[in-house]
Amino acid sequence: MLAITSRDVLIVVDMQYDFLPGGSLAVAGGDEIVPLINTLAKRFTNVIFTQDWHPADHISFASQHPGKNPFDLIELTYGPQVLWPDHCVWNTRGAELSADLDIPHGQLIIRKGYNRQIDSYSGFQEADRETQTGLAGYLNERDVDKLYVVGLATDFCVGWTAIDAAAGGFDVAVIEDATRAIDNAGSLANAWAEMQTAGVSRLQSKDILAS
């Protein structure tokens, strides 16, 4: 069993209304993991949130590309881009973190995707793979040990955050049953394969809560 220390960090990814049932880009069962995330968070001294935060005319929205539909793939200057329904537009309810999260000791919210011209799945860097969010610098200054990632969605923002954390030299694990996936065209299996290759550990909540 794993013993969580005061230097470990829980990263709660994109638990926002647009990704929950009833939202514009709802992840099936996304609301089911909120109580588990709350329970896990009680084991951690350090908790960080990421928050998708888009302008209304963001380049990743299918509505900005005439003739295109959500989940179509286009090429942008930084590479392939999945087009999404409008979601997590700043200052809308859909962009808000769920009020059912009970984590008052959370220390930091990293907003991502606010640059109109670049999408951003990862909590560490945007999709151009150059623009940094500052999260790595924050964590390095805090001199933390292991990172544990939960939230939405496993095959996009959770996976990219975990992979970038590993690339940045952090010891990182995804708590699988505290995530949910979109799983579009095999994206979930691909994400787990990429995480494994990157050195990301795959855990269950019982590995922590039973300790």
Answer yes or no: 157 catalytic: yes
- The residue annotated as part of the active site, out of 8, 14, 86, 119, is 14
DSSP 8-class letter at 28: T
Q: How far apart are CA 107 and CA 114, in angstroms?
A: 21
Q: How far apart are CA 50 and CA 37, in angstroms?
A: 14
**10: enclosing H helix or E strand:** strand 9-13
Are 83 and 93 in contact, with CB atoms under 8 Å apart?
no
172 φ/ψ angles, rounded to the nearest 5 degrees:
-135, 145
- The residue annotated as part of the active site, out of 18, 52, 88, 112, is 112
Secondary structure of residue 7 in the 3-state scheme: coil
Calculate the dihedral angle through the C-alpha atoms of 188, 192, 194, 200, rounding to the nearest 10 degrees: 140
DSSP 8-class letter at 129: S
- The residue annotated as part of the active site, out of 86, 119, 157, 164, is 157
CA 202 to chain centre: 15
Nearest to 189 by CA among 141, 163, 155: 155
99 contacts: CB under 8 Å, gap ≥ 6: none
Active-site amino acid positions:
14, 112, 157
